[in-house]
Structure 1
Amino acid sequence: MAYRKLLVPVIGTAAGEAALATAFMAARIWQAHVHGLHVRIDPRDVAPLAGEGLSGAMIEEMMAATERESAERAKSVQEMFARYIAEHGIPAVSDPAAAFSAGRMTASFGTVVGREEDVIAQQARLADLVVIAHPEAGDDVSTSDALHAVLFDSGRPVMVTPKTAPATLGTRITVAWNGTAESAAAVAAALPWLERAEAVRVLHADEYQRRGPDAAGLIEYLAWHGIKAESAQFKPLNGSVGAGLLASSAEFGADLQVMGAYSHSRLRQLILGGVTRHVLEHAMLTLLMCR
């Protein structure tokens, strides 16, 4: 059992529903447990944003309105989660022993009050895999912050789902390899997927390679795990390494791309652009990332 517990933030948007469906697709493969987590806004966090010139009564009313909206949203996403597992016949189980005895995919749901990015990153540290919605998640602008918090602060592998749920997952896999510690961590986290894949292709390019082992070294390493992988050199597309990676994955028919995240700092990528940023913004397939 490579993965026993998956964490998926439940946010109630279309992208969030795609992430939920992808999480259960992965859980079905590994007969794992999916814990849906919804983070409610703490009304006390609204007060510092209220600004000057507002009376205490006005601030209290803002906090009360925030609490009402937060409660309504939490109820809505919990009902959506419950409806999903009921429609798919997934047992609701919160006890690990009961989940093991069930011998099949199970699910649970929890709500926590706090800052979304902090809570998710902390809760993720006790999950085998975090499945999170595409950062362009409609009106839920906080999702991007949650994604980056999990990548940087959880120490766990992150599966970033496309805007719509994929038809397959992990059958044809590309590995974006550049020799960095981040890409090595991603490969280690992805080994269970790579071992069961029908086809694996290692993507590399001179423009993408950093100091570290080359693609041939990775091919040999994977062979020690009984994984037969082929190697393919890709070219940047319109000067973009990230676009070249995604085009190469599409050409291979990949339904999962494994890669390290932010070999350069996130700030540098925000200012200058970068491979991780481009892939996160434009990926149409599921990503498995580590930082």
Structure 2
Amino acid sequence: MRILAILDRPETALFTLQAAGELARRLGGQEIRLLHPKRATDPAFQAPDEGIPTPAQRGAFARQVTLRAERLQSIARAWIGAASHPVVAQASWVEIAGDIRRIVAQEARNADLVVISRPCAGDRDDIGQALDGALYDAVALVLIAPLQAYPTVGQRPVVAWHPSPALDRVLDTARPLLNTAGHVTFVIGAEHDTSEAPPELVGELIARGIPVTIDRFVAPRDRLGEEIRAHALAAGGDLLMMGAYTHARFVEWLFGGPTRDLLAHATLPILTCHHGIEDLTA
């Protein structure tokens, strides 16, 4: 497995690296590539009416970009130097300047898994562009790292169950992790009570001796994300698996649906991917 870790902010870099290292260990990672995508031009001077930067402004922007890259590389070197896992110890570092979204999308297409920090309110625009490049343009499998350290990732996974091609892909890739988990929780949310049979995967895991809990709840659509997060945390989970944006009215749902809500508030690592086919039943 080839893992690409996106490092864009010094304050979140270590959490991203720790999550990448833990998944490399659990999923048999063979290569970790550490990518720092950086702007080639100052975003404050993109539009024609914003004028032309002065030499002093260009110099200040260049120093800011260089300082951020140096801080990130220092964090990465310290992490690599302290590593006991051979794959982590051999992780490679690369910096690429240009269009952030395009850079990340191109690099993500060559990876089996992309690890990226969780978006935060007030982030630079290019932070969101990096996530969009990996999740939507490259259609990559993405681990959204939390804003805190987790001693384990995937030892107690929580599956936000809603059948979709995206979730199928997540579960297929994470199957080695599920098969060695200490406990797996399936969180099944719906707007109305349902007597739907448990997922087949539940029986398969139980047959392997994996303890499984099924947690069903009822909530209105606009609270599904909040409830999934609350139930996952209550289960003591250390990784949330779910499909991303499998809803027919895609654009309208982005800012109010479960995935966007979880990105705004969740404290768990989130393993997810987007599937280009709309799910008309969502």
Q: TM-score range by the shorter chain?
A: 0.7 to 0.9
Gaps of 5+ in 1: 92-98
Secondary structure at the counterpart of residue 205 of structure 1: strand
Is 1:25 the counterpart of 2:9? The answer is: no
CA distance in 1, matches of 2:204, 2:163: 12
The equivalent residue for 1:82 is 77
Distance in 2 between the 1:208 and 1:6 partners? 39
Aligned residues: 270
Equivalent residue letter for 1:21: Q
- Of stretches 172-181 and 182-191 in structure 1, the one that deviates more from structure 2 is 182-191
8 Å Cα contact 1:179-1:214 kept in structure 2: no
Partner of residue 126, structure 1: 110
| 8 Å contact kept, 1:162–1:284 | yes
Find the counterpart in structure 2 of residue 152 from structure 1.
136
Distance (whole Å) between structure 1 residues aligned to residue 155 and residue 245 of structure 2: 26
Q: Decide which of 29, 37, 41 is 1:39's aligned counterpart.
A: 37
Partner of 1:233: 216
Distance 2:34 2:48 in 1: 31
Q: Deviations over 1:193-225 (max 9, x none)?
A: 11111111222133399xxx9643443566798
Between stretches 225-234 and 248-257, larger displacement belongs to 225-234
Q: Is the Cα contact below 8 Å between 1:201 and 1:230 reproduced in 2?
A: yes
Q: Which amino acid aligns with 2:13?
A: G
Deviations 1:90-129 (CA, angstroms, capped at 9, x unpaired): 77xxxxxxx7xxxx75211001111222211220111121
User: Which of these residues, 173, 182, 194, is aligned with residue 198 of structure 1?
Assistant: 182
Counterpart in the other structure of 2:11: 14
Correspondence for 2:262 among 276, 279, 290: 279
Secondary structure of the structure 1 residue equivalent to 2:129: helix
Could you list the per-position Cα deviations for residues 251-285 of structure 1 after superposition, in whole angstroms to 9, with x for gaps in the alignment?
A: 221111110000125521245x0011111111111
Alignment-mate amino acid for residue 245 of structure 2: Y
Cα distance in 1 for residues equivalent to 2:238 and 2:218: 20
Amino acid at match of 1:22: A
Q: Once the 2 structures are TM-superposed, how far is the Cα of residue 15 of structure 1 from its aligned partner?
A: 2.0
Q: Which residue of 2 aligns with 1:95?
A: none
Residues 227-263 of structure 1: per-residue CA shift (max 9 Å, x gap): 6644321233896111111121122211111100001
Distance 2:241 2:72 in 1: 30
* In 2: Cα distance, 1:31 partner to 1:282 partner: 29
CA RMSD of aligned residues (A): 3.1
What is the TM-score when the length of structure 2 is the normalising length? 0.82
Mapped pair 1:106 → 2:90: yes
For 1:144-183, list aligned pairs within 5 A: 144-183=128-167
Following superposition, the deviation at residue 61 of structure 1 comes to: 5.0
Cα contact 1:236–1:242 (8 A) shared by 2: no
Tell me the TM-score normalised to structure 1 length. Answer: 0.80
Q: Determine helix, strand or coil for the equivalent of 2:163.
A: coil
The alpha-carbon distance between structure 1 residues 158 and 42, as it changes in their structure 2 partners (threshold 3 A), is: same
Amino acid across the alignment from 2:96: V
In the alignment, what sits opposite 1:96?
A: none
Q: Quick check: 1:208–1:241 contact (8 Å CA) kept in 2?
A: no
Q: Tell me which residue corresponds to 2:61.
A: 66
Segment drifting more, 217-226 vs 249-258: 217-226
CA distance in 2, matches of 1:106, 1:208: 50
Which ranges in structure 2 are unaligned for 5 or more consecutive residues? 275-282
User: What is the rounded CA distance, in whole Å, between the counterparts of 1:214 and 1:116 in structure 2?
Assistant: 44
